[in-house]
Amino acid sequence: MMNKTYPSFWRANAPVAYFAVIVLTMPFWFPLIGGYPGLDTKILIWAIFAIGFDILLGYMGYLSFGHAAFFGISAYTTGLMLLHYSSEIVPAMLMSVVVTTVAALIIGMLTLRRSGIYFSILTLAFGEMFYSSAVSTLQSWTGGDNGLTGLPTPTLFGSVIKDTDVFYLTAFFAIVAYFTARRIASSPFGLMLRAIKSNQDRLEFTGINVQRYKISGFVVSAIFAAFAGSLMVIYEPYVATEFLHWSTSGKIVIMSVIGGVGTLFGPMIGAAFMLYFENVISVALHEQWLLVLGLIFMAIVIFLPGGFVDGARRVHRKIMGRSAPSGPPAEKGEA
Amino acid sequence: MSGTLTNHIFLQFVTGLQLGAIYALIALGLTLVFGTLGLVNFAHGALFMLGAYLAVVIAAKFGFIAAIVGVPIILFIVGLILEKGLIRFFYQRPHTDQILVTFGLAIVVQETLKWIFGANNLPFSLPSWGVGIIKMHEWVPFLEGFVVYPKWRIILIGVSMTTVAALFVLLQFTRFGLIVRAGMRDAEMLRFLGIDINKRFAIVFGLGAMIAGIAGVFGGPVTQVDPEIGMNMLVPSFLVVVIGGMGSLPGAVLASFLLGLALSFTAEYSAIQQIIVYVIAVVVLLVRPRGLMGQKGLMEE
C-alpha cells in the first residue's frame, strides 16, 4: 500500500461510483427483494449515521453509547424549525448541523477527557440526559412522550418534497457522505485519528495536541449523525422521543459491528442488514426478531470481530487460495 | 405533604436511602466484577432483570422464602456458566469487545424474557410479612405525629446494607478475598505461586451475578418487573460506579446513597430530578476524573 504513485481521481473514487450506482438504482431493485417503498430511504439515512459512527469507532477507536444524542438533537432542531420557522428544509438542516456541532463540541470536551470504557459510559449518560430532558424538563418544547407532531410537509425551494423526492435527496446526501468520509479517512486528519486509535501516548509525545484531534473527530462524527437525524424528519415529518433513547445508540452500535467497523462500507451494509431484518425478515420471526438479531450480533462479536466485511474478505481469500497475512484485520487496536 | 418540616425531611431522607439501597445492590455487582476482573458488564442489568423475573415465578409457585434462597443461588450458577462459557475468552480482548459482547448478551436475555413473559410488567406480590407499614414515630424520637413508611422498603435498605457488609468482610478478611484482591493487582504472580486464579475469577463473576439476583428479589417489588427494567437500572448503576470510582466498593456505596438522596430531595421539582443524576456525574468527573474514591491506575489505558 505504500507505493508513491497516486491513483487518478477516478480510480481513487471508483468505490464511490459503484456505491452511487447501487444507491441510485435502489428504487428499481429493492422492491424485488421484499423491501417496501420508503424502507430504502430509511436504510440510506441510517447508512449516513453509520458512516459517521465509523469515523469515531472504526478510525478513532472510541465506542460511543450515546450517539443517539446527536441524531435526536438534530431531529428535534429540524422539527422545531419546520414547525416554528418555515417548512423549507435548507434552513432547517443548516440549523440542525450548527446546533448539533455545538452540542458535540461541549459533550466531546467533557467525555473525551476519559477513554475506553469511561468514555462509553459517559456518552451513555449524556445520551440519557438528553432523553430524560426531552421527555420531562423540556416537555413544552419537545412535546414530551408524544414527540413532535403536527409538522408541515417539508418543502425545498417552495415545492413540496415527498416519497421519491425524499429518496433522491437522501441518496444525494448518502453519496456525498460516503465520498466525504473516504476523503477524511485517507487525509492526514484521518491518519491522525488512526494514530489515536493505535497509540495515543506515543502520538502525544511527538508534540501533537491529541485532544484537539479527538474533539474534531468526535464533532465530524456527530455532523454525519446530524444530517441523518435531519433527513429522518424530512422523510417522515414527526420526531419520536425514541430518536434520543439509548436503544437508538445501541442500534447504531449493532449495525456498525455487524457490518464491520473501520471500513466505512461495512457499517452501511450493517445498517441495510439491520433495517432489512427489522422490517422484512421480522415478519417470519414475529416478535422474536430482536432476539435473533442479538444472537447474530453476539456471534459476530465472538467469532468474527471484523463483521460481514471481514467475513467476505476471509471467504474471498479462501477462494483465491492465497495464504493469510495480507490485509489489516479490521478490529485489533492494540499496538 | 403533611406533618412538620422535620418529618418531611426525615421521610425524604429515608426514601433517599431506599433508592440508594437499590442502586447500591446493583452497582455492587457491577463494580466487583469490574474491580477484580477488569470487565465492563453491560449485561449486569439483564442479570438483575433475570433475578426479578425468576423471583416472581418462584415466589408464585413455592413462596417468597424459596425465591429469596433460590434466586441468588440460581444466579450464582448462571454467572459461573457465563464466565466459563463466554466471559473468560474476553479478558484478553479489547475493552470495546467486552462491552459489545455483554451488550449483546443483555439484548438476548432481555428479549428471551420478553418472549416468555410478554412485554407487560408482571405483578409482584409481596409476602405477608413484608406487607404493611412501619410506624416510624414509634421508633424515631424527634418525629411528631403520625409518620409511616412501607415495611418492604425498610427491609430493602437492611438487605442492601447487609449485602454490602458481607461482601466487604469476604473481600477484606478472608483468604479468598485476599487472593482475589491480589489477583486484581497481579494475576500472573499468583499463577506462579500455584494458585488457581481462574477458578476464583469464575467465582467472583458468579458472586456479581448473585448480588444482581438479590437485587432482583428485593428490588423487583419496588422497581417494577418489565422488559425495560434491566437497561433502565443499568444506566444509573453505571453512573454510580463511575461517580464512586470504578472498581471501588466503598465508592459505589457512597455514590449510591449520594444519588439516592439527591433524587429524593429533588422529587418535588421533577424538572431538576430528571437530570440531577447526570449533573452530579458531570460535576464529580470534572473535579475528580477518577471518581470519588477511584484508585489510581486502575483500568486507565
Chain B interface with A: residues with Cβ < 8 Å: 40, 86, 89, 93-97, 99-101, 103-105, 107-108, 111-112, 114-115, 231, 235, 238-239, 241-242, 246, 270-272, 274-275, 278, 281-282, 285-286, 289, 299-301
Which chain B positions have a beta carbon within 8 Å of A302's beta carbon?
86, 89, 101
Q: Give the pLDDT confidence score for residue A331 in this predicted structure.
A: 46
Q: How many contacts does A have with B, using Cβ atoms within 8 A?
A: 111
Residue B298 lies in a domain: no
pLDDT at residue B29, as a whole number:
92
Task: Check CB contact under 8 Å for A125 and B235.
Answer: yes
Residue A115 distance to chain B (closest CA, Å): 7
Does residue B262 or residue B188 have the better pLDDT? Answer: B262
Q: What is the mean pLDDT of residues A245-263?
A: 92
Q: Do B96 and A61 touch (CB under 8 A)?
A: yes
Structural element, H or E, at residue B167: helix B151-173
B63-119, pLDDT tens digit by residue?
A: 899 999 999 999 999 999 999 999 989 988 888 899 999 999 999 999 999 999 988
Contacts of A134 in chain B (CB under 8 A): none
Per-residue cell: A13: 473514487
Residue appearing with cell numbers 425551494: A157
Quote the minimal CA–CA distance from B85 to chain A in Å: 11
Say what the pTM is: 0.89
Buried b (16+ CB within 10 A) or exposed e, A117-129: bbbbbbbbbbbbb
Question: In the prediction, which pLDDT does A334 show?
Answer: 37
B171 within 8 A of B163, measured Cβ to Cβ: no
CB contact under 8 A, B95 and A57: no
Pairing label, strands A155-156, B133-135: unpaired
Count: domains in chain B: 1
**Quick check: A110 and B286 CB within 8 A?**
yes
The closest CB to that of A116, out of B107, B242, B301, belongs to B301
Least CB–CB distance from B104: residue in A115, A288, A301: A301
B208-231 per-position pLDDT tens digit: 999 999 999 999 888 888 888 888
In a domain, B186, yes or no: yes
B241 to chain A, closest Cα gap in Å: 10
Of B41, B206, B242, B101, residue with least CA distance to A294:
B101
- Spatial separation of the C-alpha atoms in residues A24 and A97, rounded to whole Å: 25
B293 is a domain residue: no
Element (H, E) at A155: strand A155-156
| Alpha helix segments (H runs only) across chain A | 9-12, 14-24, 26-29, 39-54, 68-84, 89-111, 116-132, 139-142, 164-186, 188-198, 200-205, 210-235, 246-259, 265-276, 282-285, 289-303, 307-320
Give this complex's ipTM: 0.88
Q: Do B282 and A257 touch (CB under 8 A)?
A: no
Q: pLDDT tens across A290-323, in order?
A: 899 999 999 999 999 889 999 999 998 888 875 5
On whether the CB atoms of residues A308 and A331 are closer than 8 A, the answer is no
The model's pLDDT over B12-47, given as tens digits with 9 standing for 90+, comes to 899 999 999 999 999 999 999 988 888 889 999 999
Q: What is the mean pLDDT of chain B?
A: 87
Dihedral (CA of B48, B53, B58, B59) sign: positive
Residues of the domain holding B221: 1-287
In a domain, residue B300? The reply is no
How much is the pLDDT for A5?
A: 63
Can you tell me the distance from the alpha carbon of A42 to that of A25, in angstroms, rounded to the nearest whole number?
Answer: 15
B292: in domain: no
| Beta-carbon separation of B96 and A63 below 8 A | yes
Of all residues in chain A, what percent carry a pLDDT higher than 90?
Answer: 51
* Helix orientation angle between A246-259 and A116-132, rounded to the nearest 10 degrees: 140
**Degrees to nearest 5, angle at CA B236 with B57 and B76:** 40
Least confident of A41-45, A198-202, B109-113, B166-170: A198-202
Domain-embedded: residue B3: yes
> How many C-beta atoms surround the C-beta of residue B190 within 10 A?
18
d(CA B216, CA B65): 14
Predicted confidence (pLDDT) at residue A329 exceeds the cutoff of 80: no
Q: Is A230 helix (H, G, I), strand (E, B) or coil?
A: helix
pLDDT at B1: 45
User: Cα(A137)–Cα(B129) distance, rounded to whole angstroms?
Assistant: 39
**CA pair distance B244, B27, nearest whole angstrom:** 10
Give the nearest partner residue to B104 out of A116, A120, A298, using CB atoms: A298
C-alpha distance from B290 to closest chain A C-alpha (Å): 9
Q: Burial of B170 by CB count in 10 Å (0-12 exposed, 13-18 middle, 19+ buried)?
A: middle
Query: Would you call A137 and B275 a contact, using CB atoms and an 8 Å cutoff?
Result: yes
CA distance B127 to chain A (A): 33
Assess A201–B contact: CB distance below 8 Å, yes or no: no
Q: In 3D, which of A230, A245, A44 has the Cα closest to residue A132?
A: A245
Q: Which domain CATH number covers B35? A: 1.10.3470
Q: Residue B301: inside a domain, yes or no?
A: no
